[in-house]
Structure 1
Amino acid sequence: MSSKSKAPTSNHLIAGAASGFTSAIALQPFDLMKTRLQQIDSRSTGMGVDRLVGIARSIVDAHGWRGLWRGTNATLLRNVPGVAVYLYGLQGIRSHMTKMPQFRAPVTAVQNSVTTVLPKLSREGDLFAGAIARVTVGFLLNPFTVVKARFESDLFNYKTMGEAFRGILRKQGAVGLLSGWTPSAIRDAPYAGIFLLFYEQIKDSTERAVTRSHKQPFPGLIHSFSAATAAAIASCITHPFDVVKTKMQLRPERYTSLTNAIWIVLKEKTFFNGLALRMSRKVLSSALTWTVYEGVLLLLRDRQAAL
């Protein structure tokens, strides 16, 4: 592995926190409207511009433009440490896996990349590393995910984070803070693995193609294009479990178990509610997150090298 990939571990926390903050602030309205679509139990009629405009208008009429950022505090509490810890943990896992022959990157990988400082793995390595890191962090931060979903829904009228936590604990006990974790894990493990697999493959292929054309690779464009494409693919594959997760977190009295929730969602044909919004959000979020993350790592590496 090139020495370029041996960035201080603190760099990954700093870069991860910066990318999590940026995407959370910029894209909260997408999460809010996706949650409002998924709380509907009737059969999906698709995203529809008129439908989205109606949802947005009702939010603005009730809360003003700031209402489109309802739940941002919960999102920040979840995303800033969550993305930082995820990317930090992912880096540790990948670095460890580079020592395992079965997970080492093939010779075709761009070993001395000018667009990244991250270690290289095989396809199987990226798949496993992404899944393990994401599920672990998802479990630790699930209480904030539950509160975030309820803030974004109009089924609850919480005023503060403390009120939301107290309400959940009073009605459901501590187990309420883990509502929806199983479908979240079933969604997040393949999503993170598939995303990382395609992200690294697209990034390497794009850099090789640009280099072969005798042009200078532009890291920001390569990162954003690779992340956006990988996010679109992973979102399509895993979206049904995102719907199940949201419904279990919002209506635990109706969606009492994973199998029960899946059965109701299948029966009502709502398993693709909010797909376009989630995909749009994931595409933009991933492009922002990974462009900022890798960009900050490159910047910190260059600054430390100059000292």
Structure 2
Amino acid sequence: MSNGSKTALSKSTFHFVAGLGSGVFTAALLQPFDLLKTRVQQSGTNSLSATIADIWAAPRVLPALWRGTVPSALRTGFGSAIYFTSLNAIRQTAARLSPAPASRSAGPRPASSSSSLPKLSNTSNLVAGAVARSFAGFILMPLTVIKVRYESTLYSYTSLASAAKDILAKEGVRGFFSGYGATALRDAPYAGLYVLFYEQSKKRLSALFPAADAADAPSPQTAAAMATPHAATVNFTSGILAGGLCSAVSNPFDAVKTRLQLQPARYRNMWHGAGRLVREEGLRALWDGLALRMARKALSSALAWTAYEELVRRAEVEWGRRRGREEARNQL
């Protein structure tokens, strides 16, 4: 295997591990938001205050709030790992295929950047995010179904194995993919718009901070990098803004998806489920759990992307230094 192939494999492995770590951390930290959202969405009669009161009456409140953490952490952790790895691969490929901008011998100092990731057009960011999320969502769909059922009060699973056996016995393999259509229609636009809004927000917020001195940068790619505290602030704020906005746009698909996964016999498919939900409970039901989802998605996306980007930034600096040392040795 060539050095270039080894480096590419090493970087892909790093993106996978960075995504896994950030996903597991955010899923475990914010599980109560997910649980409350599922309980509110499982029936049109459940209000947030009634759901909280029901959980508060449980013999052990903390375990009740964090019910479903294991499948949630597995699903979100590996989902983030697959998503960030595939997204990085797609964006790197798109960056190589895109025509390079004409270089300038003289001009204004480049704007500081909070990211070491490739810079793409709005359309490329939109498509890359949507494709990567759809792929990760399909791979992790069985864990998503188990996670949602764990969080609801309609099932009493005691382990991941028992949940998988029950679904397989009663619904077959198809049961593990209940609600995938609604999930894809929720996640693809969400992820595509998220990457687009996130990158645009970073671009505008980054202009508020000065770039690092190019002489101190280990490589041209990091010559315009800003200081770590500023970068983390920009990335976290951008994640909050993008996550909140995209959650509001995609919430109807999330509400339908939850019903499909919890009651597949009652809601046969996405269109039937959406129609029945609106007929029986009104348009308002499509926005059940919106505040919880906005809070959870905004925080989880901001935390995951900030942690992921910071790990990548530090790795890129180290990789740049290694390249510099290797080039220096080769010139001797």
1:232 aligns with 2:221: no
Q: 2:308 corresponds to which letter in structure 1?
A: Y
Bigger-Rg structure (1/2): 2
> CA offset at residue 100 of structure 1?
3.4
After TM superposition, the structure 1 = structure 2 runs for residues 148-297 of structure 1, keeping only pairs within 5 Å, are 148-211=147-210, 218-267=230-279, 268-269=281-282, 270-297=285-312
Residue 3 (structure 1) aligns with: none
Amino acid at match of 1:16: G
List aligned pairs for 1:290-305, cutoff 5 A.
290-305=305-320
Change (3 A) 1:106 1:282: farther
Residues 70 and 152 in structure 1, CA contact (< 8 A), matched pair in contact too = yes
Unmatched 5+ stretches in structure 1: 1-5
Counterpart in 1 of 2:222? none
Q: Given the alignment, which residue of 38, 41, 49 partners 2:41?
A: 38
8 Å CA contact retained: 1:33, 1:55: no
In 1, Cα distance between equivalents of 2:272 and 2:299: 32
Partners of 2:262 and 2:158 in 1: CA distance: 17
State which of 72, 77, 91 in structure 2 corresponds to 1:94: 91
Is the 2:111–2:206 contact (alpha carbons within 8 Å) kept by the matching residues of 1? no
| Cα deviation code 1:101-127 (max 9, x no counterpart) | 48x7999xx977542110011000010
C-alpha distance in 2 between matches for 1:159 and 1:137? 26
Rounded Cα–Cα distance in structure 1 between residues aligned with 2:146 and 2:258:
11
Q: CA RMSD in A?
A: 2.4
CA distance in structure 2 between the aligned counterparts of 1:126 and 1:90, rounded to whole angstroms: 9
Change (3 A) 1:12 1:197: same
Q: Distance in 2 between matches of 1:18 and 1:79?
A: 10
Per-residue CA distance 1:58-84 (angstroms, 9 max, x = gap): 4xx144311211111101221111101
State the distance in 2 between where 1:133 and 1:106 align. Answer: 29
Q: CA deviation at 1:210?
A: 2.6
1:79 has 2:76 as partner: yes
Query: What secondary structure does 2:117 align onto?
Result: coil
1:10 aligned onto 2:35: no
Whether the aligned pair in 1 keeps the contact of 2:112 and 2:209 (CA below 8 Å) is: no
Query: What is the SS of the residue equivalent to 1:70?
Result: coil
CA deviations 1:136-155 (Å, max 9, x no partner) are 11011100000000000010
Give the distance between the partners of 2:260 and 2:79, measured in 1 at CA. 21
Structure 2 unmatched ranges of 5 or more: 1-7, 104-108, 212-225, 323-332
- CA deviations on 1:25-49 (whole Å, 9 max, x unpaired) are 100010011000000134x76x5xx
- Give 2:64's aligned amino acid: G
- Aligned-residue identity in percent: 37
Specify which structure has the bigger relative contact order, considering alpha-carbon pairs within 8 angstroms and separated by 6 or more residues: 1
